[in-house]
Amino acid sequence: MKKMHKRFMALATVAVAALALAACGNKSNSSSSNSTDFKGQNLKIGIWLGSDQEKKGMSDMVKGFEKKTGAKVTEKVYTDFNTQIQADLAGHRAPDVWYMDSSMYPFFQKQGVLQALDKNTINTDNFYPTLTKAFSTKGKVYGAPKDTSTLAIYANNDIFKKAGVDVSSVPKTYEDLIKWLPGFQAKLDAAYGKNKVKAWSYNQDLARNLYILQHNGGTPIKANGDANLASDAVVKNLDMYKQLVATGAAVTPKDIGQGDNGTAFGAGKVALMEEGNWTYQVQKKQYKTNFTVLPMLSYEGKQGGMIFTVGWGEYANSKVKPLANAWIKYVTSKNVMKKYIETTGTLPSRPDVAKAAKLTANAALNVHLNANKYSTVWQDGTTLVTVNTSYQNFVAKALTGQTALKAAMTQADKQANAAISKSK
């Protein structure tokens, strides 16, 4: 699930108006069925595959389901998910079930192409509550979470040791971090040379910053979908990042010529980073980094982070709903999910699976699992991608002081709202 949110950055809202999605399907709950005999039936699933491990995990699930039910599973592997799934929906040829990123759920739900799932298909008590909520509307569940990714703080133990600083001294709040970073950077400069190793790496992306901007009533996006980045509460929260940058110790990967946080961290260019669990195995196996994983920090008394989750959605116009239900129930069952996450290296959406796979016994991964309790799902209406694009276009100059925060976010709002208006 590496950088999962980036799979959806190409959406833009221009495609929304063009969709005639034929949302005339049955809006009642899916037909529940306890049958396991679907011999001769065909189920079409829509997925994407990010790695060989994911391909193997999916293959194992398909074979197991076919053996159990007698049905045939046909996979459609999307390479440009947003464009292709919308074309399939408009052409009435959508899969019976498909992967659904949390950021895309509001779009699918608004178009009326999702079938509400029966309680016999998904037992919401099995999943982390925040994940189920991400695929729910007005008390009905339209998606079964298949996995999760969260953010945590990674500390390079060897860099800390050379700088003569104990990892346990890393602050637990952003307010204290801002005060602590200059002194830590000075020790890094003494150990490695000035600015050879930076203290902190972060991202200027709503997919990482949303929970901060939403703090204490901040509303980056209005209920009607319009950008609201220049609102007082959002600008006040954004000032925290400006203070972070002003320490001279916090950088983006781009600032130091690196492609992403994980690359910068693995190359020994930064001592600390905020990053997702997808980097865990990369750091261990590819970079051989000696690291410690710490929980996300608190801001004004509230701990936060981001959650990236994908669920299984069922097509409202599917002709084989009992079979689609059986698939969703099968792939999100305890034993099947356990085998899948052990194959793919992803984190499960069910706490009992995490325990059964002994992930909770791994101190580093348990930090990521616990983050499901306090983090914010990457989701905020149907215009999130458009607003994020404009945010990224203007936030850099604002955080470095080249442009005032309010002025920069006003420009971002203007650009985003112009694009949103054209798509209506």
Percent of residues, the chain, with pLDDT higher than 70? 92
Query: Residue 45 above 80 pLDDT?
Result: yes
Query: Residue 236 above 80 pLDDT?
Result: yes
Q: Which sequence spans correspond to the domains of the chain?
A: 25-150+307-377, 151-305+381-423
pLDDT at 120: 84
Q: With contact defined as beta carbons under 8 Å apart, do 348 and 365 qualify?
A: no
Plot region of 288 (φ>0 → left; ψ -120 to 50 → alpha; else → beta): left
Comparing 4 with 128, which gets the higher pLDDT?
128
pLDDT one-digit tens code per residue, 385-413 = 999 999 999 999 999 999 999 999 999 99
Query: Residue 23 above 70 pLDDT?
Result: no
Torsion of CA 228, 229, 233, 239, to 10 degrees: 180
pLDDT one-digit tens code per residue, 99-148 = 999 999 999 999 999 999 998 889 999 999 999 999 999 999 999 999 99
Q: Which residue has the tokens 């059986």?
A: 326
Comparing 31 with 134, which gets the higher pLDDT?
134
Section 178-199 average pLDDT: 98
Q: What is the pTM of this model?
A: 0.92
CATH number for the region 151-305+381-423 comes to 3.40.190.10
Query: Residue 173 above 90 pLDDT?
Result: yes
pLDDT one-digit tens code per residue, 249-286 = 999 999 999 999 999 999 999 999 999 999 999 999 99
pLDDT at 8: 43
Query: Residue 328 above 60 pLDDT?
Result: yes
Q: Check residue 308 and report its DSSP letter.
A: E
Name the band, by pLDDT with cuts 50, 70 and 90, for residue 341.
very high
DSSP codes of every residue in 113-181: -BPPPPTTT--GGGS-HHHHHTTEETTEE--EEEEEEEEEEEEEHHHHHHHT--GGGS-SBHHHHHHHH
Query: Residue 367 above 70 pLDDT?
Result: yes
Name the band, by pLDDT with cuts 50, 70 and 90, for residue 80.
very high
pLDDT at 35: 64
Taking the alpha carbons at both ends of the chain, their separation in whole angstroms is: 32
Query: Residue 27 above 80 pLDDT?
Result: no
Query: Residue 306 above 50 pLDDT?
Result: yes
Token readout for 364 is: 């580093």
Q: Which CATH number fits domain 25-150+307-377: 3.40.50.720, 3.40.190.10, 3.20.20.70, 3.40.50.2300?
A: 3.40.190.10
Bridging pattern class, strands 42-47 and 72-77: parallel
Query: Residue 325 above 70 pLDDT?
Result: yes
Beta bridge partners of 148: 309, 347
Please calculate the CA angle 235-236-242 and round it to the nearest 5 degrees.
Answer: 80
Can you point out the beta strands (E) in 254-412?
270-276, 291-294, 298-299, 302-303, 306-314, 347-348, 376-377
Beta bridge partners of 154: 273, 293
Query: Residue 12 above 50 pLDDT?
Result: no
Name the band, by pLDDT with cuts 50, 70 and 90, for residue 90.
very high
Please check whether the two domains, 25-150+307-377 and 151-305+381-423, share a CATH topology: yes
Name the band, by pLDDT with cuts 50, 70 and 90, for residue 34.
low
Q: Could you give the angle at which helices 232-246 and 206-213 cross, rounded to 10 degrees?
A: 120
Beta bridge partners of 141: 136
Mean pLDDT, the chain, whole residue set: 92
Token readout for 285 is: 């196996």
Residue 311: closest CA among 124, 37, 87, 60: 124
Q: With contact defined as beta carbons under 8 Å apart, do 189 and 258 qualify?
A: no
Q: Which residue has the tokens 């700088």?
A: 163
pLDDT at 193: 98
Section 236-241 average pLDDT: 98
Q: Which long-range contacts (CB under 8 A, 24 or more apart) does 66-71 make?
A: 68/36, 68/330, 69/36, 69/37, 69/38, 69/39, 69/323, 69/326, 70/37, 70/38, 70/39, 70/40, 70/41, 71/38, 71/39, 71/40, 71/41, 71/42, 71/43, 71/323, 71/326
Torsion of CA 241, 246, 250, 253, to 10 degrees: 80
pLDDT at 50: 87
